[in-house]
């Protein structure tokens, strides 16, 4: 990987600078010489893709043709939408004319949605020209969205897919993404004499170099963070490892600890240290400070040698094996377990497996953080799971034995394209600025590969076929899995704005298990809603004593509380943690935390 050569921009004091033609031509020639081999490599790469793969890898063209057919067979609805659009456009033109002439105008025809940060600059509101550009764009987006939403006869899943890709297209054509229609970029260009565009070109070339011909947009300062030094710094030891994971035991910070240990299972789609970023927002450190003997799973970043590892291997080596090791280390026969996202799905399968094997006592309580067990309404991720897309993905995995991390990362970035793609295109390439050093985005880019066998099983049996909620729908280690047999006390935590595991879908898990359960809903999204330390005093959460079948009925009866959900969970967890005993110091083990597995980068 190429080392960073970016220069930090100087602070500009002048309001206007003329470009230096010599410096500009030198910079452009240097960029050209660096870019030429990258473009050649990129051209070869994409030529092979076009030769070997479908021109429509997302399988969306058929759906767009179906929309066109439905529109042609119902022209009245089309013209109603057109008429509404033209009325709004006429109103916008009238208001903009008044604004151009300096006269006060009425309220905007259309406003930006809450949370849309693209049009924060004052010029978007104060300038008649840019206000017109903004509102005309928003009206067009609204027209496209309504055209999809109100089309008659479309299959609901196809409608959702169409809506998702229409929004992706709308995000791509935003006026903020182009030099001449973004006033902030124009101002920066005038102020720096075009130096911002030169720096932006250099940033673009460097990101192409980093991706070896593929564009890998920088979202943070990657040199600002080092594992074990300023992130993932909670003290502990790797006390055991196997092919798939390292088991970390953390050093106590209290003289006494709860008798029953606590195991944290993170998703292997990303690295575990999302729960241990910094001391002030580390869930793992907070758990240690509450008096738990905390163990955590740090998953391997698999290569082609692990291609045959199956979902059941992750259960055996990532849950059952660690439970045995924790029993040997602490002498305790059972353990409380937290599973986050896919780690929670794995925990659910392990609980059902242990029930079938008549060994349910190994897990004293289960906590499911933003966990899908029923995948029927699993949100935008399901849009990538039709047969054509899965077949193409399996063909790719067959070649290398793994699903490469960059492909997963692209998918997750598409779910929040305006925040994770286009905002950085503007910042890095148009404004010529460096991305801010942000630990969460460093973690987000530190993604992992997936073994082909495991990932194919997971996507097909769970996302596509939704067999996990069905008794015996899947088998692991020749054992039928029945979630309904789980009697272990369970705590479910979901987040209200989750775009990966929608809260109503995760709530369905409460209706599948047969043991006592508590459901809590936190504000914010899949990451920020979970990693919300009490000291931050951010967000809020809802709780209720019962979990009825209807999630909206639950929400109506739930009580809202300010701050973090962590203390609420701790109050519940204490009832399953046992009495206090002298603190347990981890043995020297294999190596200090965070261990070596987490430091392996995806190749």
Interatomic CA distance for residues 453 and 378, integer angstroms: 22
Give the other-Cβ count within 10 Å of 206's Cβ.
20
The 10 Å Cβ neighbour count of residue 43 is 11
Alpha-carbon Rg of the chain, whole angstroms?
26
Positive or negative, the CA dihedral 592, 593, 597, 599 is negative
Q: What are phi and psi of 281, to 5 degrees?
A: -135, 20
**Cβ atoms of 405 and 492 closer than 8 Å:** no
Q: What angle do CA 230, 534, 499 make, to 5 degrees?
A: 80
The pairs formed by 420-425 with CB atoms below 8 angstroms and a separation of 24 or more are 420/219, 420/444, 421/171, 421/217, 422/118, 422/171, 422/172, 422/174, 422/176, 422/177, 423/117, 423/118, 424/217, 424/218, 424/219, 425/177, 425/217
Residue ranges of alpha helices (H) inside 307-363 are 311-315, 321-330, 342-356
Contact (CB, 8 A) for 275 and 340:
yes
- Going by their DSSP bridges, the two strands 559-562 and 540-543 should be labelled as antiparallel
Q: Helix, strand or coil for residue 35?
A: helix
Catalytic residues: 341
Task: Look at residues 215, 308, 211 and name the one whose alpha carbon lies nearest to residue 602.
Answer: 211
- Interior CA angle at 303 toward 298 and 307, to 5°? 100
């Amino acid at each position: 990987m190429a080392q960073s050569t970016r220069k930090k921009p100087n602070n500009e004091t002048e309001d206007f600078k003329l470009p230096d033609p010599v410096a500009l031509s030198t910079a452009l020639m240097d960029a050209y010489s660096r870019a030429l081999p990258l473009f050649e490599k990129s051209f070869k790469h994409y030529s092979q893709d076009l030769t070997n793969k479908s021109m429509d890898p997302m399988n969306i063209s058929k759906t767009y043709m179906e929309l066109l057919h439905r529109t042609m067979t119902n022209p009245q609805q089309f013209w109603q939408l057109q008429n509404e659009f033209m009325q709004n456009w006429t109103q916008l033109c009238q208001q903009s004319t008044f604004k151009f002439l300096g006269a006060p105008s009425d309220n905007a025809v259309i406003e930006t949605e809450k949370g849309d940060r693209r049009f924060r600059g004052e010029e978007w509101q104060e300038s008649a020209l840019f206000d017109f550009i903004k509102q005309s764009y928003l009206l067009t987006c609204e027209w496209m969205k309504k055209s999809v939403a109100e089309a008659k006869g479309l299959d609901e899943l196809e409608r959702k897919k169409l809506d998702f890709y229409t929004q992706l297209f709308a995000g791509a054509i935003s006026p903020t993404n182009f030099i001449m229609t973004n006033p902030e970029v124009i101002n920066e260009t005038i102020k720096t004499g075009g130096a911002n565009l030169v720096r932006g070109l250099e940033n673009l070339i460097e990101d192409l170099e980093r991706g070896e011909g593929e564009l890998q947009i920088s979202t943070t300062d990657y040199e600002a963070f080092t594992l074990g030094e300023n992130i993932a710094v909670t003290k502990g030891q790797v006390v055991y490892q196997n092919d798939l994971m390292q088991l970390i035991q953390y050093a106590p910070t209290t003289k006494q600890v709860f008798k029953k240990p606590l195991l944290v299972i993170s998703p292997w789609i990303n690295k575990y240290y999302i729960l241990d970023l910094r001391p002030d927002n580390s869930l793992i450190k907070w758990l240690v400070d509450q008096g738990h003997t905390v163990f955590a799973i740090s998953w391997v970043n698999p290569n082609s040698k692990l291609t045959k590892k199956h979902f059941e291997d992750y259960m055996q080596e990532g849950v059952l094996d660690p439970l045995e090791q924790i029993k040997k280390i602490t002498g305790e026969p059972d353990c409380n377990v937290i599973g986050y996202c896919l780690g929670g799905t794995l925990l659910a399968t392990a609980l059902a497996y242990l029930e079938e094997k008549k060994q349910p006592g190994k897990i004293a309580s289960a906590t499911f953080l933003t966990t899908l067990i029923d995948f029927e309404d699993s949100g935008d991720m399901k849009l990538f799971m039709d047969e054509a897309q899965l077949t193409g993905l399996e063909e790719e995995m067959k070649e290398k034995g793994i699903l490469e991390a960059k492909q997963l990362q692209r998918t997750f970035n598409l779910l929040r394209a305006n925040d994770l793609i286009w905002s950085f295109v503007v910042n890095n390439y148009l404004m010529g600025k460096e991305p801010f050093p942000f630990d969460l985005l460093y973690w987000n880019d530190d993604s992992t590969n997936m073994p082909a066998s495991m990932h194919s099983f997971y996507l097909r049996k769970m996302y596509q076929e939704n067999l996990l909620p069905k008794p015996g729908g899947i088998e692991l280690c020749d054992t039928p899995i029945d979630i309904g047999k789980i009697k272990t006390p369970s705590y479910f935590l979901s987040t209200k704005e989750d775009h990966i595991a929608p809260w109503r879908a995760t709530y369905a898990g409460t209706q599948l298990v047969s043991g006592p359960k508590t459901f809590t809903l936190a504000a914010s999204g899949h990451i920020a809603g979970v990693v919300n330390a009490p000291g931050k005093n951010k967000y809020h959460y809802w709780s209720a004593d019962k979990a009825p079948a209807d999630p909206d009925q639950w929400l109506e009866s739930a009580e809202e509380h300010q701050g973090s959900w962590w203390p609420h969970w701790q109050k519940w967890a204490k009832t399953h943690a046992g009495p206090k005993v002298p603190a347990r110091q981890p043995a020297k083990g294999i190596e200090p935390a965070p261990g070596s597995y987490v430091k392996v980068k995806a190749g």
